Amino acid sequence: MQAAATRKTQNEVELEGGNMIKGTPSNDAIAKVLERLSTDQDFREQMLGDPVGAMKAHGIDVDPQGVPAARKLPSMAQVADIHKQFVADPQTDKSCIAVLLVVGAK
């Protein structure tokens, strides 16, 4: 299940489940992270181990308190589909930003 993004203020995007990205990341930053998550196993492991640092390296500021302790990522194929959709229409509501933060494992 993909979390939906909702606008909190001009400077933050909150995802269902309480994850939070500060500011508004650039389309290029989102596309690059999605591309790496869909192709680079080392980056995926970095994202699981230190999501705040992995995102910051791409210019995306994440509130560490919004990152769940138990984490998992969508499959590479699922991320590739989200990346493809985002590249085709980067002016969408940026709901694909949900994949940028790891999803709390249930």
Q: What residue ranges do the domains of the chain occupy?
A: 5-104
Highest mean pLDDT among 38-42, 52-56, 59-63: 38-42
HSE-up of residue 14 (Cα within 13 Å, Cβ side): 9
Predicted model pTM = 0.73
Contacts for 5-12 with beta carbons within 8 Å, 24 or more apart? 5/93, 5/94, 5/95, 5/97, 5/98
Task: Tell me what the mean pLDDT of segment 30-45 comes to.
Answer: 94
pLDDT at 22 over 90: no
Task: Tell me what the mean pLDDT of segment 82-97 comes to.
Answer: 75
The percentage of residues in the chain with a pLDDT greater than 90, rounded to a whole number, is: 25
Contacts of 82 (CB under 8 A, 6+ apart): 2, 34, 74, 96, 99
More confident residue, 95 or 85: 85
